[in-house]
């Protein structure tokens, strides 16, 4: 039977559905109505065109109207706005935006893919703002890029620390603009938990971004050139980008009497049908089921929108394919870091009173002895009783994407944390380790499920110490020069068996190390000797990510002239070059201390490392012991310090 299907909206959901409909049937009449002039563009690539990483604008256009019309035999009507839906009589009223003509089209099935629009809050003075932008589509991109190109800007304010806000921050910095990011919440990147977001915030500052957390915008003054915060701080801004989130484009659905959810999303069933069985909806405008907790939510992501478009097309043509919910797997580039998440974070699980357990590990991206190996901070969240995986978060320079993708696949396959230990993943020194980080996270989590390991989290440490708890740091004493938990006692792992008599047996012992591994080994020694012991999950590295307030060195980009001038001014030479890139704790610190001790006063040690933590650790240590940092620079994944011995 020939069907007439009208699709409202292109891009991810609508364009995918249109192509799928044609692949299923050569007989269907398919009309795609799009308010804008582009039906399929790379909206996730827009910030990178503004930053000139993508130099060719045409590459943003995934499909042209002509190309898609011809290939899929579609009736595509751009610059045409769907004005109203008569669901009972299956009629759609359409307005030609250019000519003003209004007409009706009948349909057998209708698919809504209107997307979501940026939230614009009623901030005082916003109506008079002359340099305020949002980023949603190609015209928005053109306006921002033209403004940046023509004005030779020196400063910009980005309101909102989400994915788009941080991508825009990076790309404006790449254009030589001083960027301030204002985030009203207590962290950037809401899908992360706070201790994971902390390292991203540090990295933003290291790259010259001024970051304001926990402070919103109260007012715009002088046509937007002054941004007034809630604490009355004023910031000069030559342009402002508003990026505080999106809300579903639901006006058409609402006027048609379709059911909407609490957050304004269009309510659909498992077949992606709205409350009118002949009208389907997909993409950022719909309310979905969270794949983990099964609650209704809004998750505006391109991947799910594409899948929904395909499923809706199948069902329009008579199939009964279910959409099982959205997992929320996402990834973002923030300067040199990759940040990825999947599933639920702690905040979401706490909201729905779902019990969970957490592990943090800090493995290398690949074998430490192979060049360019860098650390990954990986967090796994799971059910302690069943081992079911609830979610994961990862941050690092390399290898983050594949670890989160593996865990996302494991979640969809109903694997447990124990199953992660049995995954046979590809290994060669340039790509991984024989025990992949996913395997390692599985090992630690399985130890907890099996009762072999008890632990506490970073946010519990301070209260435990204040209450008189015994915190044992099993790192080498030299490592504590770079930072330690106040109130902790120090016995290195190598000395532990010889000093068991010094430890109390009448109270729990909380064991900490650099990243958690030596703490686990120490906890096994202590437990096997009759002690009540718990490990500090993630060690000093996780704890200090949130609590450490040491000086942050900006890793700003130099122009060629600045680089030449600096080279002329630098008259020192390295007396010793020490390469600790890729080494795991405690070796980098031990080797550095030994290297410094062997120098004569005023000699210079050149240190090569790949752990970004040294950007805060080394300056704090040098200041404490009296050495001088002469220079810091980064080449690829390698961070270099030139340290002059006191």
42, 44, 126, 525: which one is catalytic?
A: 44
For the chain, the first-to-last Cα distance in angstroms comes to 86
Go through 147-178 and write b for each residue having 16 or more CB atoms within 10 A of its CB, e for each that does not. bbeeeebebbbbbbbbbbbbbbbbbbbbbebb
User: Of 334, 275, 324, 318, which is closest to residue 304 (Cα–Cα)?
Assistant: 324
Is 585 designated active site? no
Considering just the CA atoms, what is the radius of gyration of the chain in Å? Answer: 28
Neighbouring residues of 291: CB distance < 8 A, sequence distance ≥ 6: 324, 325, 326, 327, 328, 343, 411, 412
Cα–Cα distance measured from residue 622 to residue 539, given in angstroms and rounded to the nearest whole number:
22
Buried b (16+ CB within 10 A) or exposed e, 431-455: bbbeebbbbbbbbbbbbbbeeebeb
DSSP 558: P
**Nearest Cα to 496, choosing from 481, 480, 475?**
475
Within 8 A by CB and 6+ apart from 639, the residues are 608, 609, 610, 611, 612, 614, 615, 632, 633
Residue 190 in tokens: 């809401």
Phi, psi of 453 (to 5 degrees): -135, 130
Q: What is the DSSP code (8-state) at residue 575?
A: S
* Residue whose token pair is 């024989």: 434
Alpha-carbon span 541 to 527, nearest angstrom: 24
CA distances from 20 to 87, 271, 308 (A): 24, 16, 11
Dist CA 351 CA 524 (whole Å): 34
Report yes or no: 94 and 105 within 8 Å, Cβ to Cβ: yes
Provide the 3-class DSSP secondary structure of residue 447.
helix
Residue 468 makes CB contacts below 8 A (sequence gap 6+) with none
Q: Name the strand (E) or helix (H) holding 641.
A: strand 638-644
d(CA 555, CA 130): 32
Q: Which residues of 583-613 are buried (b: 16+ CB within 10 A; e: fewer)?
A: bbbbebbebbbebbeebeeebbbbbebbbbb
| Structure-block tokens of residue 222 | 């002088």
Q: Are 77 and 33 in contact, with CB atoms under 8 Å apart?
A: yes
Phi first, then psi: what are they for 124, rounded to 5°? -60, 130
List active site positions: 44
């Amino acid at each position: 039977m020939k069907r007439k299907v009208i699709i409202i909206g292109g891009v991810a959901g609508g364009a995918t559905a249109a192509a799928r409909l044609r692949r299923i049937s050569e007989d269907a009449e398919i009309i795609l109505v799009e308010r804008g002039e582009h039906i399929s563009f790379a909206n996730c690539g827009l910030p990178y065109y503004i930053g000139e990483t993508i130099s060719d604008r045409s590459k943003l256009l995934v499909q042209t109207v002509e190309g898609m019309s011809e290939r899929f035999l579609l009736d595509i009507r751009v610059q045409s706005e769907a004005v109203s839906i008569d669901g009972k009589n299956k009629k759609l009223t359409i307005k030609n935006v250019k000519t003003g003509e209004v007409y009706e089209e009948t349909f057998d099935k209708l698919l809504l893919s209107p997307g979501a629009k940026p939230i614009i809050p009623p901030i005082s003075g916003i109506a008079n703002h002359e340099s305020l932008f949002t980023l949603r589509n190609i015209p928005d991109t053109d306006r921002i890029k033209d403004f940046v190109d023509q004005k030779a800007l020196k400063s910009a304010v980005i309101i909102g620390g989400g994915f788009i806000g941080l991508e825009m921050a990076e790309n404006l910095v790449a254009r030589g603009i001083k960027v301030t990011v204002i985030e009203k919440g207590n962290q950037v990147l809401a899908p992360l938990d706070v201790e994971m977001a902390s390292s991203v915030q540090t990295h933003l500052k290291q790259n010259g971004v001024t970051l304001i957390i926990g402070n919103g915008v109260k007012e715009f003054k002088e046509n937007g050139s002054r941004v007034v915060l809630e604490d009355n701080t004023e910031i000069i801004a030559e342009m402002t980008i508003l990026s505080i989130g999106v809300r579903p484009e639901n006006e058409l659905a609402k006027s048609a009497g379709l059911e909407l959810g609490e957050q304004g999303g269009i309510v659909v069933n498992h077949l992606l049908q709205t409350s009118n069985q002949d009208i389907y909806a997909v993409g950022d405008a719909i309310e979905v089921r969270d794949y983990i907790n099964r609650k209704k939510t809004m998750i505006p992501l391109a991947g799910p929108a594409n899948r929904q478009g395909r499923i809706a097309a199948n069902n329009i043509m008579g199939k009964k394919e279910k959409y099982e919910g959205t997992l929320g797997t996402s990834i973002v580039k923030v300067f040199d870091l990759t940040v990825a998440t999947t599933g639920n974070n702690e905040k979401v699980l706490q909201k729905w009173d779902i019990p969970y357990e957490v592990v943090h590990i800090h493995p290398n991206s690949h074998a430490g002895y192979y060049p360019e190996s860098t650390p990954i901070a990986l967090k796994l969240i799971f059910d302690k009783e069943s081992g079911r995986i609830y979610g994961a978060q990862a941050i690092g320079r390399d290898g983050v994407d594949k670890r989160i993708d593996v865990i996302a696949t494991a979640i969809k396959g109903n694997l447990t944390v124990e199953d992660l230990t049995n995954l046979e993943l590809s290994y060669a020194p340039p790509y991984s380790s024989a025990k992949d980080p996913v395997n390692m996270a599985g090992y630690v989590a399985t130890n907890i499920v099996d009762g072999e390991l008890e632990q506490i989290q970073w946010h519990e440490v301070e209260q435990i110490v204040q209450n008189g708890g015994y915190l044992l740091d099993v790192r080498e004493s030299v490592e504590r020069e770079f930072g330690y938990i106040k109130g902790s006692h120090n016995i290195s792992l190598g000395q532990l068996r010889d000093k068991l008599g010094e430890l109390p047996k009448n109270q729990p012992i909380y064991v900490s190390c650099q990243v958690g591994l030596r703490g686990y080994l120490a906890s096994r020694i202590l437990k096997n000797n009759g002690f009540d012991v718990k490990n500090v999950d993630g060690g000093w590295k996780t704890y200090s990510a949130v609590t450490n307030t040491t000086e942050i060195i900006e890793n700003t980009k130099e122009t060629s002239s600045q680089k030449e001038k600096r080279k002329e001014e630098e008259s020192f030479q390295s007396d010793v070059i020490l390469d600790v890139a890729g080494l795991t704790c405690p070796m980098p610190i031990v080797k550095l201390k030994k290297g410094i001790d062997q120098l004569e006063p005023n000699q210079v040690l050149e240190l090569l490392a790949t752990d970004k933590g040294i950007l805060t650790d080394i300056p704090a240590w040098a200041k404490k012991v009296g050495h001088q940092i002469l220079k810091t620079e980064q080449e690829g994944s390698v961070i270099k310090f030139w340290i002059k011995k006191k």
